[in-house]
Amino acid sequence: MTIDGSRGRALAAEGRLPAERVALVDLLDRLLAGGVVVTGELVLSIADIELVRISLRALLASVRDADEEEGDDEPSWP
Amino acid sequence: MSEYGIYLYAVTPDVSGNATAGTTPDEATGTTAGAGPGTRPERAADVSRDTRRGTGPGPGGGTARLHGVLGGPVRPIRHAGLVAHVGEVPLDQFGEGPLRRLLEDLDWVEGVARAHHHVVEALAAAGPVAPVRLVTVYTGEDQIRDLLDRRRDDFADLLARVAGRHEWGVKAYVTRAAPPAPPAVPASGRGSASPGTAYLQRRKASLRSREDVWRAAAERAERLHAALGEIAVAGRRHRPQDPQLSGRSDVMVLNGAYLVDPDRDGEFAAALDAFRGEGMDVELTGPWAPYSFTSLDLGSDRGGGTR
């Protein structure tokens, strides 16, 4: 991923983190509310898992909720 | 039930197989020849894939030494002009029952998430990638080939859309700056209001000004999202992160993701900078693989495979 221009480099320098330092919550935003969703004919997918009992529910359920509102481009303001 | 499942990380184009032109003959035979049951027009492609295999991973398929979940090797399944990047995972962890328990273990979740991310990052560095949502496990490779068969057009569209682009994350917070100095209640004028009334007045004013600060920041966040959306190819919002999760006490008013052409990164940064300050703090993350722009729902469509 080449970034052109000093502006772009500054941008990249600010944003880019080694993979191990990426905040887990930012990662889970993407891994749980983004990506290709495949259902059916699986052993399982995360979409099949009932998340309400999970102790991480503050984390996972919040992402899940956003995902389930179709048109999650417009989440309600807190 | 077998002991292992096939964990799917991501799908990329099969650049070694001349993916765009190479599928045409297959499509022609597949749609017009009325092939009988069991006749798979992709067989020819399978054979050529197998002969190619001896030459090692082609460009874009560079998963030769890539390791994923639980340290397991990642390997490509080439099919229908696409490459599915997969690894075996033990069902004593990735079976439904065990997974329910393990999802309560933040360390385990983090390990899987970071391993998944590591694989996606490596693939993204080599070319267009469609990441698959965390923990998508198949019973076998045949099911994955079937998926690629049925959804090759969807994957091709999606991969064309994200090719050469990357995702930036932008989080905006209302900085919980002390509201402007409370309206002067003259300290000397004790006679005008009781201390209790004065307190309530101050508190009311403080609340009002805090509300104003918040409303102003929310409006600025709207404008920021719109401004970034003009530069980006696409933008979407994730749900704002709870302060417990963001690690900041400030209220998040925007958790945006933007798919950007790299040659517009400079403009993107400038637009972002213009919104810093004035009660709002802005954080940038990325560049990310286009996770937020591949949220294609590939349900178990049995629509006869005419797509």
Q: In this structure, what are the phi and psi dihedrals at residue B250, rounded to the nearest 5 degrees?
A: -70, 150
Last residue of a domain, one of B111, B143, B164: B164
Does residue B101 sit in the same domain as residue B26?
A: yes
* Contact at CB, B137 and A34, closer than 8 angstroms: no
Provide the residue range defining the domain that includes B18.
Answer: 4-34+41-164
Coil, helix or strand at residue B160:
helix
pLDDT given at position B49 = 35
Does residue B153 sit in the same domain as residue B212?
A: no
Establish if B256 belongs to a structural domain: yes
Establish if A7 belongs to a structural domain: no
Q: Which residues on B lie below 8 Å from A52 (Cβ)? A: none
Tens-digit pLDDT profile for residues B57-99: 444 444 468 999 999 999 999 999 999 999 999 999 998 888 8
Candidates B6, B8, B102, B133, partner chain A, best to mutate (most A CBs within 10 A): B133
Establish if B305 belongs to a structural domain: no
- A30 part of contact set with chain B, CB < 8 Å: yes
H or E element: which one contains B298?
A: strand B297-298
Q: What percent of chain B has pLDDT over 70?
A: 74
* Contact at CB, A55 and B104, closer than 8 angstroms: yes
From the list A36, A62, A72, the residue facing B296 with the nearest CB is A36
pLDDT given at position B28 = 35
Establish if B243 belongs to a structural domain: yes
Q: Show pLDDT as tens, one digit a residue, over chain B (307 residues).
A: 448 999 999 999 998 754 443 333 333 333 333 333 333 333 333 333 333 333 334 444 444 689 999 999 999 999 999 999 999 999 999 988 888 788 878 888 889 999 999 999 999 999 999 999 888 999 899 999 999 999 999 999 999 999 999 999 999 998 866 455 555 555 554 556 788 888 888 888 877 777 887 788 889 899 999 999 999 999 999 888 877 777 788 889 999 999 999 999 999 999 999 998 877 889 999 999 999 998 766 665 433 333 3
Establish if B102 belongs to a structural domain: yes
The total domain count for chain B is: 2
Q: What DSSP state is assigned to residue B35?
A: P
* Contact at CB, B291 and A35, closer than 8 angstroms: yes
Does residue B111 sit in the same domain as residue B172?
A: no
Average pLDDT, rounded, for chain A:
57
H or E element: which one contains B236?
A: strand B234-237
Q: CATH number for the domain including B225?
A: 3.30.70
Which ipTM score applies to this complex? 0.73
* Contact at CB, A30 and B158, closer than 8 angstroms: no
Question: What is the Cα B235 distance to its own chain's centre?
Answer: 12
pLDDT given at position B107 = 84
Does residue B21 sit in the same domain as residue B147?
A: yes
Tens-digit pLDDT profile for residues B128-161: 999 998 889 998 999 999 999 999 999 999 999 9
Residue A17: band (very low, low, confident or very high) from pLDDT cuts 50, 70, 90: low
Establish if A42 belongs to a structural domain: yes
Provide the residue range defining the domain that includes A49.
Answer: 19-68
Does residue B135 sit in the same domain as residue B208?
A: no
From the list B94, B132, B300, the residue facing A35 with the nearest CB is B132
Q: In this structure, what are the phi and psi dihedrals at residue B77, rounded to the nearest 5 degrees?
A: -115, 110
Dihedral sign for Cα A9, B271, B227, B263, please.
negative
- A29 part of contact set with chain B, CB < 8 Å: yes
* pTM flag (> 0.80): no
Which tokens hold the place of B249? 């006490």
* Contact at CB, A78 and B251, closer than 8 angstroms: yes
* Contact at CB, B245 and A5, closer than 8 angstroms: no
- Gap between the Cα atoms of B288 and B290, Å rounded: 6
Q: Give me the amino acid identity at B140.
A: G
From the list A10, A33, A37, the residue facing B269 with the nearest CB is A10
Which stretch of A3-7, A74-78, B58-62, B277-281 has the lowest confidence by average pLDDT? A74-78
**Structural contact between residues A70 and A33, judged by C-beta atoms closer than 8 angstroms:** no
Last residue of a domain, one of B164, B190, B221: B164
Residue of chain A nearest B301, judged by CA positions? A40
Candidates A4, A17, A30, partner chain B, best to mutate (most B CBs within 10 A): A30
Does residue B29 sit in the same domain as residue B146?
A: yes
